[in-house]
Structure 1
Amino acid sequence: MTDWNSIEAADYAIPADRDPGELVDELSRALADPDPLVRDGAAYSVLHTWIERGVIDGSRRRALGDEMADRFLDPEIQARTFAPLVLDMLVAKGEFRAEWVEAFARWYPAEEDLRGYDEELGWLHAVAHGADLLDRFGRHAEVDPVRMLELAAARLTAPTGHVLDQLEDDRLARAIARVLTRTDLSERDATGWLDAVDAEFGADRIVTPVSAHFSNCLRTLRLLYVLADRGVRPPTQDAAPVPLPHREALKTRLGEVLDRMVRR
């Protein structure tokens, strides 16, 4: 097995005696490994750096993206939840296929294993990793931002018994806010996706004890209200907050939905 730590220590240089294609294949397998030291260690760092630096050529990047899209159907949770991280890297580099969006859209609201961290498997983070890709797709010129907002609503309203416990609700709120910075969204676009949340969790639907997905949604929307008010920072370090174009209309609608969710 390749010593990825050595490659990382050598400023990510490809070993002279190795075929780059074989190394990419091995990296892809490593990012589905159940051992978190393999999956989330130097192998992840090497793949990210090679994609960012263009070490992996365009045809291999696209093939890798196709592999990650297929991986959303993998029976192993860690394989499914690390696929969006790789797709995020690839789209950031300029690669894009509509098929990747379709595969992601089928997986994200349907994923049932929402554990943030597992003692044996390490970080899984389905909601957070999916939120990062939703953010990336939602700001991409070839993706309809309304669809990504509706996908976020579908994730928030999907029944689950797991209360998000690793700040994943915050990651999703920030992703939604970044999609909402798109200037081509109408006021109705920016608020209409909340109708599905209102229909699911409105005052006439409240039951106690509250469900896990009710709690997850409530906490996500609370942070989104703050971000709508103050703006949301882009993923770049130390960047200033970006205002949401339909700030006031969004705050009004969020306030209505939140009020109905907690009304007794």
Structure 2
Amino acid sequence: MHKLFYSCIAAVLIGVGSPALAACPPTAYSIAGLHALKTSQWQIADPQQRQQMALALIDCLADANPVLRDDIAFEALSFWMRGEQLTTATIQTMRQQLLNQIRMPVPSKDPGFATPFAALVLAEIARIDRRKAFMSDEQRADMVNAAAEYLSAVRDFRGFDEHAGWRHGVAHGADWMLQLSLNPALNQQQHLQILNALAPQIRNDQHFYHYGESERLMAPVFYLGLRSGLSSEEWETWFNSLFTTSLDLKITTQASLARKHNLTAFLYALYVNLQESSATAVKEKLLLQVIKSLKKLN
């Protein structure tokens, strides 16, 4: 890439190494420059500048501009993390900043981008840890707690908007849970914690999912069925919990219809994946529970 472009990055990123978040786009840096970085396939030759740029882009995850938020900030961070181009120190800084962000009270007029995209990047960080552990047991437990708190509390069910782009809080929370569910360092109590955080969204009676949320919620359940040592009794208890409701199901309401719609979509997605799986053990563990659950909906 042209030397001038790298010198511009260096000038912009002086002092960005601290945990404080920069503006979006980073101070004194143009949107055109970020597009140029994307065109170059996120190539920054100087490793230190790359770390600084990653930290500087975190603020863009909350930006109302979907290009800055999704096509540039998230895509760049994901590319560098999956390509092992960020240091453990950088990833640890991102982890703490994003956990702090996702735990902050949501303002009443919040546009709804910051926490879903924090969850999505935290899913990428969880992916790094499950492939090559870098978190301590305490940090990993804190991440499981944060993911469970976040997903259980999502009440902004907006998905895609042609002008604003994606929010997709439930799906991003499910993606975070998927990466955690695949982590061999988690114990069975944490597996139950993940399942119990997924359940309220699976049986959601406040909104009809129509942006693929049910399939995303299904994925961590399927992989826990494949990998976890939870007993048949524990799985039966969990599937029964999906039918917990305060609704009077004798009365047809929007809430009861939403609940049935979302449960059906989840169960059919899980049923298909179980039937297509070559793993006999997971079928024996979950398939009967899925069939029994589907019959309850009729």
Give the direction of change, closer, same or farther, for the CA distance of 1:217–1:201 in structure 2 (3 Å limit).
Answer: farther
**Quick check: 2:226–2:281 contact (8 Å CA) kept in 1?**
yes
- Show the counterpart of 1:147: 193
- Show the counterpart of 2:99: 69
Distance 1:145 1:191 in 2: 14
User: Are residue 256 (structure 1) and residue 289 (structure 2) matched?
Assistant: no
Distance 2:52 2:225 in 1: 40
Among 108, 113, 128, the alignment partner of 1:93 is 128
Aligned AA (2:60): A
**How many Å apart are 1:164 and its aligned residue?**
0.9
Give the direction of change, closer, same or farther, for the CA distance of 1:181–1:17 in structure 2 (3 Å limit).
Answer: closer
CA RMSD of aligned residues (A): 2.5
1:103-146 residue CA offsets vs partner (Å, 9 max, x unmatched): 11111021111111123321111121111111111121233222
Among 107, 115, 137, the alignment partner of 2:158 is 115
Aligned AA (2:185): E
Give the direction of change, closer, same or farther, for the CA distance of 1:208–1:179 in structure 2 (3 Å limit).
Answer: same
User: Are residue 59 (structure 1) and residue 59 (structure 2) matched?
Assistant: no
1:201-231 residue CA offsets vs partner (Å, 9 max, x unmatched): 89x7453133423321221112112222222
- The TM-score, its normalising length taken from structure 1, stands at 0.84
- The TM-score, its normalising length taken from structure 2, stands at 0.75
Aligned AA (2:242): V
Aligned AA (1:88): A
Distance 2:296 2:264 in 1: 11
| TM alignment of 1:76-87, pairs within 5 A | 76=110, 77-87=112-122
Aligned AA (1:101): V
- Show the counterpart of 2:3: none
Aligned AA (1:184): G
Aligned AA (1:207): I
Distance 1:92 1:43 in 2: 18
Give the direction of change, closer, same or farther, for the CA distance of 1:201–1:100 in structure 2 (3 Å limit).
Answer: same
Structure 1: give runs of 5+ residues left out of the alignment. Answer: 232-241
**Quick check: 2:203–2:262 contact (8 Å CA) kept in 1?**
no
Distance 1:224 1:119 in 2: 30
Give the direction of change, closer, same or farther, for the CA distance of 1:183–1:111 in structure 2 (3 Å limit).
Answer: closer
Give the direction of change, closer, same or farther, for the CA distance of 1:249–1:179 in structure 2 (3 Å limit).
Answer: closer
Distance 1:145 1:206 in 2: 34
Give the direction of change, closer, same or farther, for the CA distance of 1:55–1:157 in structure 2 (3 Å limit).
Answer: same
Among 209, 217, 221, the alignment partner of 1:172 is 217
Aligned AA (2:297): M
Distance 1:155 1:84 in 2: 16
1:4-60 residue CA offsets vs partner (Å, 9 max, x unmatched): 222233342226598444412321011111110110112222111211223221111
- Show the counterpart of 1:42: 72
Give the direction of change, closer, same or farther, for the CA distance of 1:254–1:57 in structure 2 (3 Å limit).
Answer: same
User: Are residue 129 (structure 1) and residue 129 (structure 2) matched?
Assistant: no
Distance 1:17 1:101 in 2: 30
Higher Cα radius of gyration: 2
Distance 1:132 1:15 in 2: 31
1:84-107 residue CA offsets vs partner (Å, 9 max, x unmatched): 211121122224422122111111
- Show the counterpart of 2:22: none
